[in-house]
Amino acid sequence: MGVRLGLDVGGTKVNIGLLEKDGKLLYREKVPIPKGVAARELMQALAIRVGELLEGRGLTQADVVAIGIGVPGTTDGHVVLHAPNLHWKNEPCADYFEATFGAKPLLAQDTRAAAWGEYRLGAGRNKRVLVCVTLGTGIGCGIIINGRIFEGGLGTAGEVGHIPVVPGGRACNCGRQGCMETYASGSGILTTAKEYPQLGQRVNSALDVFDLALKNDPFARKVISSAVGFCGQALCAVVNAFSPDALIFSGGMSAQADLYIKPLLTHLRENAYALAVGEKLLMDVSSLGEDAPMIGAAMLGA
């Protein structure tokens, strides 16, 4: 029995999945990430855990036909060049994993893995140009063009969260200022809410802000409306530039349909180039949900 192995490394946990060759999910589990963990230490721990999962199902390394790992940062396929939120730079994670497990995985930025999963098995299946935007603690994007992950000439394609929307604005983990992510992501929403005396002591997460907005709190609604505006501003540029036939939203905030997704789609329809956001453009949320990066990672190379 051949299986595919996918791992999605997040800021606080790793989503591990075993899939059949055709992508059917057999098993998944989430493993917490210790704060400040070193790349080598995490990859070795994950390799050990994967070995245990296989053994527990009567499988061996020889049964694994593909291994993919999605990481929250820029990678060349084997080395994590920069993962700002994990504070990793130039970490040969594929080698770390192989040293313990005995087989080398392919690495992909988690947002690209999510896009690949949606293209192969999800809402954007077989579209010509798929843009998959991940809305969560940060904001990222994967782009699939004619059945291939688009990396760009220098490997940094899809960094839509780092499109500047406020000149001289908030400092971003990428080292620049005014990035869309610092205003429109979950962390950005919380930062904005904390700037309001009427909200600051009542919220500890973006979810708290959304909960208050659902109760018609005017300040919470203003915070979210501002975030949607900044996100829409950046995505208008993406839609105009790439002319996708599918724009898919994944990540935790994609579940906020009434407060975030629907207003965002309205913004795009009203502000992007009209022919780029016509009826031929599919705009929808991920059909794979939070498993999209893990499934996409497992399907790398397929």
Percent with pLDDT over 70 in the chain: 100
278 pLDDT more than 70: yes
Quote the longest CA-to-CA distance of the chain. Answer: 59
Q: Is 152 left (phi over 0), alpha (psi -120 to 50) or beta?
A: left
CATH topology (fold) of 126-286:
Nucleotidyltransferase; domain 5 (3.30.420)
Percent with pLDDT over 90 in the chain: 88
Give buried/exposed letters for 193-230 (b at 16+ CB in 10 A, else e).
beeeeebeeebeebebbbebbeeebebbbbbbeebbbb
- Residue 85: the pLDDT is 78
- Residue 145: the pLDDT is 98
The model's pTM? 0.92
Report which of residues 188 and 137 the model is more confident about.
188
> What pLDDT digit, counting tens, does each position of 223-234 carry?
999 999 999 999
- Residue 174: the pLDDT is 85
302 pLDDT more than 80: no
Q: How confident is the model at residue 1 (pLDDT cuts 50, 70, 90)?
A: low
Pairing of the two strands 246-250 and 282-285: parallel
> What pLDDT digit, counting tens, does each position of 108-163 carry?
999 999 999 999 999 999 899 999 999 998 899 999 999 999 999 988 899 999 99
- Residue 18: the pLDDT is 97
Measuring CA to CA, which residue among 130, 128, 181, 110 is closest to residue 283? 130
Q: State how far the Cα of 99 lies from the Cα of 118, in Å rounded to an integer.
A: 31
Q: Is the dihedral of CA 214, 220, 225, 227 positive or negative?
A: negative
User: How many helices and strands, by DSSP H and E, does the chain display?
Assistant: 9, 13
> What pLDDT digit, counting tens, does each position of 7-17 carry?
999 878 999 99
Report residue 252 CA to chain centroid gap.
9
CATH topology (fold) of 3-113+292-298:
Nucleotidyltransferase; domain 5 (3.30.420)
Q: Give yes or no on whether 3-113+292-298 and 126-286 have one common fold.
A: yes
For the chain, domain boundaries? 3-113+292-298, 126-286
The overall average pLDDT reported for the chain is 95
DSSP 156: -
> What pLDDT digit, counting tens, does each position of 29-44 carry?
999 988 889 999 999 9
Q: State how far the Cα of 192 lies from the Cα of 213, in Å rounded to an integer.
A: 14
Q: Which residues contact 92 (CB under 8 A, 6 or more apart)?
A: 78, 79
